[in-house]
């Protein structure tokens, strides 16, 4: 399934129903999967409004190979100990890259003159 995927194309949905694919890191979390993003990202806003997701394995640019299976499911924002465990799963899989992610966010936000926003951990429950 997605256990070995380095990147996935995570599709969330706008209020008008149009699909918005985004490339994200993914890690196994029990029987489900977790992804991380900034709490105020458009992706997080869409998922708070509509938890439906579609997921396909992709490359780092979000390109999906022909014939790649699509998994459908729902997103749930994790808090407390669950969020810590989910973040640990991401850190275990991606190592130093995920530790640099907050630094990149701080630099980007400073250049855009935006306040730093906290990250959130999102669990994906998927079926085929």
Query: 113 or 51: which carries more pLDDT confidence?
Result: 51
pTM (predicted TM-score): 0.83
Q: Residue 17 has what pLDDT?
A: 96
- The CATH number for 68's domain is 2.30.110.10
Nearest partner of 55 among 43, 64, 47, judged by Cα: 64
| High-pLDDT (> 70) share of the chain, % | 85
Is pLDDT of 75 > 80?
yes
114: how many CB neighbours lie within 10 A of its CB? 11
Is pLDDT of 102 > 70?
no
Domain-embedded: residue 101:
yes
Range of the domain at 26: 7-127
Span 93-121, mean pLDDT? 70
Residue pair 108/40 in contact by the 8 Å Cβ criterion: no
Q: What is the mean pLDDT of the chain?
A: 87
Burial class from Cβ neighbours inside 10 Å (0-12, 13-18, 19+) for residue 115 reads exposed
Q: Residue 61 has what pLDDT?
A: 94
Domain-embedded: residue 2:
no
Q: Rounded to an integer, what is the distance from CA 56 to the centroid of its chain?
A: 12
Query: 128 or 30: which carries more pLDDT confidence?
Result: 30
Tens of pLDDT, residues 17-52: 999 999 999 999 988 999 988 888 899 999 999 999
Query: Nearest-5° angle of CA 71, CA 74, CA 79?
Result: 130
Is pLDDT of 121 > 90?
no
Is pLDDT of 5 > 80?
yes
Domain-embedded: residue 25:
yes
Query: 115 or 62: which carries more pLDDT confidence?
Result: 62
What is the total count of domains within the chain?
1
């Amino acid at each position: 399934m997605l256990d070995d995927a380095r990147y996935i194309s995570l599709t969330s949905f706008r209020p008008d129903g149009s699909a918005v694919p985004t490339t994200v890191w993914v890690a196994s979390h029990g029987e489900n999967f977790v992804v991380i993003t900034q709490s105020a990202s458009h992706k997080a806003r869409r998922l708070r409004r509509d938890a439906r997701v579609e997921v396909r394995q992709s490359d780092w640019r979000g390109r999906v190979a022909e014939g790649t299976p699509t998994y459908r499911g729902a997103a749930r924002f994790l808090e407390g100990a669950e969020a810590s465990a989910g973040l640990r799963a991401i850190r275990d899989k991606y190592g130093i890259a995920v530790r640099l992610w907050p630094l990149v966010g701080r630099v980007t936000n400073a250049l855009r003159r935006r306040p730093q926003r906290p990250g959130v951990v999102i669990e994906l429950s998927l079926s085929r």
